[in-house]
Amino acid sequence: MAEEKLPTRAEDFAEWYNQLVIKADLADYAPVRGCMVVKPYGWALWENITSWLDAEFKKTGHVNAAFPTLIPLSFFEKEKEHVEGFSPQLAVVTHGGGEELEEKLAVRPTSETIIGYMYSKWIKSWRDLPVLIVQWGSVLRWEIRTKLFLRTAEFYWHEGHTAHASADEAMEEMYRILDTYEEFCLNEAAIPVFKGPKSESEKFPGAQITTSIEAMMWDKRALQSGTSHYFGQNFAKAFDIKYLDRNNALQYCETTSWAISSRIIGAIIMVHGDDQGLVLPPRLAPIQAVIVPIYRNEAEKAKVMEVADRVFQELKDAGIRLKMDDRDNVSSGFKFNDWEMRGVPVRVEIGPKDVEKGSVALARRDRPGREGKSFVSQDGLAATVNSLLAEIQTSLLQRATEYRDANIHEPKDYEDLKRIVQDGWAFAYWCESTECETKVKEDTKATTRNIPVNQPDQEGMCIVCGRPSKRKVYFARAY
RNA sequence: CGGGGCGUAGCGCAGCCCGGCAGCGCGCUUGCUUUGGGAGCAAGAAGUCCCGGGUUCGAAUCCCGGCGCCCCGACCA
């Protein structure tokens, strides 16, 4: 239950976040180091995220399957960059049934290896391609520093793994999924993102190309919110994934993988949340509207509840995800604050005065306090609430986009870049060399986020070294 | 791995220096009054004082050893 106030975001953003996750009832700390328990309210939010994505993947021919949590440790040795990238983060099972295991088993940190192994058994002919499989589940990475949702040892996600006959087709798949991720962020989560390839040094271990979507949090730090990778034939060669083409020639597959994790919940919190607590976009909110009946005695209660029950049924019939807060042991004021903490988009208050006047009070979560309150007729309330939900969804995206764009600057020179990334993002030409990227990181802690697609066909000079450059990149401090 | 802090009721903490009935606030339970922006009063329940050993008539407190957690820095979705 929510109690007491949060620190404001300006006072202590990290502490604001930590307390909010607990007080909004999304998750709790587990007894295992670095792990979280996702509570029912947080999981309901996650289910709304996953059900949209799942439906979208299925539209483009993807199917779901499940692979084991445990992976033979030797599998990780097969791809050089992959083993280097993930070895430090592996949890390893050494005993089973009281006996020491002959071969140690890793708890999956990601499933390219075991899925690659299976694909090599399943794929024989060009007729078997493409293979488009998604796994929903959790993975485990032994993280040093953890934070609920943003970086926990175990986290939830989907991982898509696809195999194709040609590089073009695999690249197309990578970008198709990236588009789906962008669409999800914009339309469902109301979070604007930039999409495009990552730099060499920021690539996924084993990938030829890693693309990402990048979002700006309230504190102006960047959060990589989804990734889509093109592996070329790296994993196909490591796991011997081959098929006979139409000319009876043996070919290696081209593979991809891609993921959005429960981290996206952290993004929703840090993009939309305010000093009152969580603010959820209506399309993802587990509870879109809450009804708070207000009364002073039994006689009033009877009258108010009659209206409240009728309104509840009307809104429910209109398909609104709804909650009646009929708790008798807390005051109305407490309830207001409680539901604001949990980010419910619309609150419907019904008291004795409303019963008299045929009205209700509507409070919209994206505008806290008196400003967001209005008194509307009980007639046609379902339509009123539905249009308000749509308006909140739109205005959250608009507000987040304006905020982001106001905090991205194009540096005049390197000194300017160093200043900008202290409190915002810099968008600048970059020669795509690791040296320049590393220099920025050492000087400022900012990293390259991605090279956004759809850039104008112009040339410039690398902001660091001055060499000619064709593409601009975002520099930002990241989570 | 380097630096700092902490471990006492569900949560947040005081008590420790200077050994002597285990406390405070919040939360929880019950009752009454309350309810349009975080209600009040009353009565209750709730403890392996992180673990192990030692000193002592007596240890939350002193000594030795261990474990765990959090925060800040280099790596990561």
Kindly report the three-state secondary structure assignment for every residue of chain A.
CCCCCCCCCCCCHHHHHHHHHHHCCCEEECCCCCCEEECHHHHHHHHHHHHHHHHHHHHCCCEECCCCCEEEHHHHHHCHHHHHHHHHHCEEEEEECCEEEEEEEEECCCCHHHHHHHHHHHCCEHHHCCEEEEEEEEEECCCCCCECCCECCEEEEEEEEEEECCHHHHHHHHHHHHHHHHHHHHHHCCCCCEEEECCHHHCCCCCCEEEEEEEECCCCCEEEEEEEEEEECHHHHHHCCEEECCCCCEEECEEEEEEEECHHHHHHHHHHCECCECCCCCCCCCCCEEEEECCCCHHHHHHHHHHHHHHHHHHHHCCCCEEECCCCCCCHHHHHHHHHHCCCCEEEEECHHHHHHCEEEEEECCCCCHHHEEEEECCCHHHHHHHHHHHHHHHHHHHHHHHHHHCEECCCCHHHHHHHCCCCEEEEECCCCHHHHHHHHHHHCCEECCCCCCCCCCCEECCCCCCEECCEEEEECEC
CB atoms under 10 Å from CB of A405, counted, come to 11
pLDDT band of A3, cuts 50, 70, 90: very low
Q: A13-272 and A289-386 share one CATH topology?
A: no
Task: Please state the domain extents for chain A.
Answer: 13-272, 289-386, 408-476
Residue nearest to nucleotide B71 (CA to C1'): A145
Nucleotide closest to residue A351 (CA–C1'): B36
Q: How far is the CA of A332 from the C1' of B30 (A)?
A: 22
Q: How far is the CA of A368 from the C1' of B28 (A)?
A: 31
Q: How far is the CA of A144 from the C1' of B65 (A)?
A: 27
Task: Return the biggest CA–CA distance within chain A.
Answer: 85
Query: Residue A464: what pLDDT?
Result: 94
Residue nearest to nucleotide B76 (CA to C1'): A143
Question: What CATH architecture is A408-476?
Answer: 2-Layer Sandwich (3.30)
Q: How far is the CA of A195 from the C1' of B22 (A)?
A: 59
Q: How far is the CA of A310 from the C1' of B63 (A)?
A: 71
For residues A432 and A396, is the Cβ–Cβ distance under 8 A?
A: no
The predicted model gives A69-81 an average pLDDT of 92
- Round to the nearest angstrom and report the end-to-end CA distance of chain A: 28
Query: Residue A17: what pLDDT?
Result: 87
What does R_g of chain A's alpha carbons equal in angstroms?
A: 25
Residue A278 has pLDDT above 80, yes or no: yes
Distance CA A44, CA A287 (A): 9
Positive or negative: CA dihedral A454, A455, A458, A461:
negative
- Quick one: CA torsion of A193, A196, A199, A204, rounded to 10 degrees? 80
Residue nearest to nucleotide B72 (CA to C1'): A145
Residue with tokens 């081209």: A254
Structure tokens at A170: 């695999």
Could you tell me the fold of the domain covering A289-386? Rossmann fold (3.40.50)
Q: How far is the CA of A301 from the C1' of B57 (A)?
A: 65
Q: How far is the CA of A3 from the C1' of B31 (A)?
A: 24
What backbone phi and psi angles, to 5 degrees, belong to A54? -60, -45
Kindly state which CATH superfamily the domain A13-272 is placed in: Bira Bifunctional Protein; Domain 2 (3.30.930.10)
Q: How far is the CA of A339 from the C1' of B42 (A)?
A: 30
Nucleotide closest to residue A227 (CA–C1'): B77
A78-113 pLDDT, tens digit each: 988 888 888 888 888 888 887 888 999 999 999 999
A198-231 pLDDT, tens digit each: 999 999 999 999 999 999 999 999 999 999 999 9
Query: Residue A119: what pLDDT?
Result: 98
Distance CA A76, CA A85 (A): 10
Nucleotide closest to residue A276 (CA–C1'): B38
Distance CA A472, CA A428 (A): 5
pLDDT band of A40, cuts 50, 70, 90: very high
Q: How far is the CA of A149 from the C1' of B67 (A)?
A: 28
What backbone phi and psi angles, to 5 degrees, belong to A340? -70, -40
A389-419 pLDDT, tens digit each: 999 999 999 999 999 999 999 999 999 999 9
Residue A37 has pLDDT above 90, yes or no: no
For residues A20 and A273, is the Cβ–Cβ distance under 8 A?
A: yes
Query: Residue A1: what pLDDT?
Result: 34
Nucleotide closest to residue A157 (CA–C1'): B77
Query: Residue A4: what pLDDT?
Result: 65
Distance CA A224, CA A203 (A): 12
Nearest Cα to Cα of residue A196 among A431, A453, A427, A462: A453
Q: How far is the CA of A142 from the C1' of B54 (A)?
A: 39
Query: Residue A63: what pLDDT?
Result: 98
For residues A385 and A285, is the Cβ–Cβ distance under 8 A?
A: no
Least confident interval from A19-33, A64-78, A234-248, A361-375: A19-33
Structure tokens at A258: 């891609």
Nucleotide closest to residue A261 (CA–C1'): B77
Query: Residue A2: what pLDDT?
Result: 36
Kindly report the three-state secondary structure assignment for every residue of A402-447.
HHHHHCEECCCCHHHHHHHCCCCEEEEECCCCHHHHHHHHHHHCCE
Q: Which residues of A16-45 are buried (b: 16+ CB within 10 A; e: fewer)?
A: bbbbbbebbbbbebeeeebbbebeebbbbb
Task: Strand B: list positions under 7 Å from protein Cβ.
Answer: 1, 26-29, 34-39, 68-77
Query: Residue A100: what pLDDT?
Result: 84
Nucleotide closest to residue A296 (CA–C1'): B35
Nucleotide closest to residue A341 (CA–C1'): B38
Q: How far is the CA of A220 from the C1' of B65 (A)?
A: 47
Q: How far is the CA of A375 from the C1' of B55 (A)?
A: 73
Nucleotide closest to residue A445 (CA–C1'): B74
Query: Residue A92: what pLDDT?
Result: 87
Residue A59 has pLDDT above 90, yes or no: yes
Positive or negative: CA dihedral A111, A117, A120, A123:
negative
Antiparallel, parallel or unpaired: β A242-244 and A222-232 = unpaired
Residue A33 has pLDDT above 80, yes or no: no
Helix A13-23, helix A263-272: angle, nearest 10: 110
Nucleotide closest to residue A295 (CA–C1'): B35
